[in-house]
């Protein structure tokens, strides 16, 4: 007869039993930290936290991978076989709960077990979609050469939607643990620290027999998976992967000389060919300045720029800045994408001394001249002391 804990006897000192082994506990709290860091940096903090986001996400996926192996070759309570029940048993448990006669479980209870599967699965799919997004949009990681920008952007949308779904699952998981703690009078979060739970009167709930653990096998498989997948993802480079459809590496000498007198020489992939054509035709009145050159130089630069800009460059800035503002067809900072990505930066920040203005991309983007604009290379400079007074 299952005991109902709503009306259970007053708590007595009871024997305790080891339930969560050291691996499970270490896994659980490391996953809290790494997933927390990935969600916080991805959903709330900006692109300048990208490196921490990659580290948190990679760590979470590596931990989940090892937990899946431990679910097959770990200690008895850690095994999937010990806590994943069929839908019939799950429904029964929920009915018993509703009627206030559900029993207590030494390991995960049925909805708890399903929640573990949902959390592990969601984190894995978020990780996979992240690698696709990273390859397609930022030309980084193992899929840099294999995925185009459009696919990467789609994967990034999925990545973001699943991150919100994961946040919802985490809220449910915590609520479930609190609910079950109140219902059974046993502090479940604490049990995930000490590893032990009270042994009450439920020999029937114990797994049939202690399982033989295979820590070396699990460690080996995890290390293999990490080396294969995560290491190549984390190998964030200062330069895009060779072979990826990336901007041309070398600037035309004349362009680099003539067009870097007042600002950085903007990478040709940052505007579509028509925009460069119109800009070069109006150098006499260039943003209120006279930037005109002799006709031969103007023609040569215009030609190089339009040819370079017409190359199939599949980077994020090339794809996104191609949508220009019709009223300002060659102003990068007026494109909808630029306005969206920089909306959170105040005018005061842009006018600070080491920055001088929105046009000065290189002040904040260390890789501005390469046309890559990798988020890990963003650093908004502080105002130097002598200028801040």
One residue of 257, 285, 289, 382 binding ligand HEC per CB under 6 A = 289
Judge contact between 53 and 38, C-beta under 8 A: yes
The residue of the chain with the least Cβ separation from ligand HEC equals 46
Distance of CA 254 to the CA centre of its chain: 41
Report if residue 324 touches ligand HEC, rule: CB under 6 A: no
Here's the x/- map for ligand HEC, 166-185, by CB under 6 A: it reads as --------------------
Using CB under 6 A as the binding criterion, the count of chain residues that bind ligand HEC stands at 41
Q: Which stretch binds ligand HEC (CB under 6 A): 97-105, 151-159, 161-169, 262-270?
A: 262-270
Total residues found in the chain within this entry: 389
Q: Which stretch binds ligand HEC (CB under 6 A): 6-14, 146-154, 209-217, 282-290?
A: 282-290
One residue of 349, 366, 369, 383 binding ligand HEC per CB under 6 A = 349
Least distance in angstroms from the C-beta of 243 to ligand HEC: 20
The Cα 130–Cα 136 span in angstroms is 10
Report if residue 375 touches ligand HEC, rule: CB under 6 A: yes
Here's the x/- map for ligand HEC, 47-66, by CB under 6 A: it reads as xx------------------
The Cα 170–Cα 66 span in angstroms is 20
Identity of the residue, 246 or 361, whose beta carbon is nearer to ligand HEC in the bound complex:
361
Report if residue 133 touches ligand HEC, rule: CB under 6 A: no
The Cα 351–Cα 128 span in angstroms is 40
Judge contact between 271 and 321, C-beta under 8 A: yes
Q: Which stretch binds ligand HEC (CB under 6 A): 147-155, 186-194, 195-203, 359-367?
A: 359-367
The Cα 50–Cα 349 span in angstroms is 21
- The Cα angle at residue 199 between residues 194 and 205, in degrees rounded to 5: 110
Locate 350 and state its tokens. Answer: 């842009």
The Cα 305–Cα 260 span in angstroms is 14
Q: Which stretch binds ligand HEC (CB under 6 A): 23-31, 186-194, 237-245, 362-370?
A: 362-370
Judge contact between 198 and 96, C-beta under 8 A: no
The Cα 235–Cα 231 span in angstroms is 6
What residues make contact with ligand HEC under the rule CB under 6 A?
Answer: 46-48, 258-259, 261-263, 266, 270, 279, 283, 286-287, 289, 291, 301, 316-317, 330-333, 341-342, 345, 349-350, 355, 357-361, 363-365, 373, 375, 378, 380
């Amino acid at each position: 007869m299952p005991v109902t804990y709503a009306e259970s006897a007053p708590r007595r000192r009871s024997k305790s039993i080891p339930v969560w082994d050291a691996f499970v506990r270490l896994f659980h709290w490391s996953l809290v930290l790494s997933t927390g860091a990935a969600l916080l940096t991805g959903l709330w903090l900006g692109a300048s936290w990208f490196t921490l986001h990659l580290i948190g996400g990679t760590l979470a996926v590596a931990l989940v991978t090892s937990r899946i192996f431990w679910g097959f070759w770990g200690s008895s309570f850690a095994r999937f076989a010990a806590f994943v029940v069929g839908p019939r048993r799950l429904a029964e448990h929920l009915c018993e709960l509703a009627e206030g006669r559900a029993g207590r479980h030494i390991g995960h209870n049925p909805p708890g077990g399903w929640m573990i599967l949902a959390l592990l699965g969601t984190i894995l799919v978020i990780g996979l979609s992240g690698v696709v997004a990273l390859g397609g949009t930022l030309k980084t990681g193992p899929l840099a050469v294999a995925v185009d920008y459009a696919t990467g952007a789609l994967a990034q949308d999925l990545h973001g939607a699943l991150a919100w779904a994961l946040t919802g699952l985490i809220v449910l998981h915590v609520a479930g643990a609190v609910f079950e703690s109140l219902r059974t009078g046993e502090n479940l979060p604490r049990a995930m620290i000490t590893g032990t739970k009270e042994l009450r009167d439920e020999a029937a709930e114990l797994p049939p027999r202690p399982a033989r653990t295979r820590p070396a096998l699990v460690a080996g498989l995890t290390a293999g998976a990490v080396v294969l997948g995560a290491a190549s993802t984390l190998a964030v480079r200062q330069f895009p992967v060779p072979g990826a459809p990336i901007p041309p590496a070398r600037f035309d000498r004349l362009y680099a000389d003539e067009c870097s007198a007042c600002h950085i020489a903007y990478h040709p992939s940052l505007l579509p060919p028509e925009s460069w054509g119109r800009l070069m035709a109006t150098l006499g009145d260039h943003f209120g300045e006279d930037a005109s050159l002799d006709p031969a130089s103007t023609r040569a630069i215009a030609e190089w720029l339009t040819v370079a800009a017409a190359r199939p460059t599949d980077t994020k800035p090339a794809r996104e800045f191609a949508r220009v503002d019709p009223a300002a067809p060659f102003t990068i900072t007026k494109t909808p994408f630029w306005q969206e990505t920089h909306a959170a930066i105040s005018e005061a920040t842009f006018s600070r001394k080491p920055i001088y203005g929105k046009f000065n991309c290189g002040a904040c983007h260390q890789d501005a001249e390469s046309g890559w604009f990798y988020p890990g290379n963003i650093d908004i400079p502080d105002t130097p002391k002598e200028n801040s007074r």
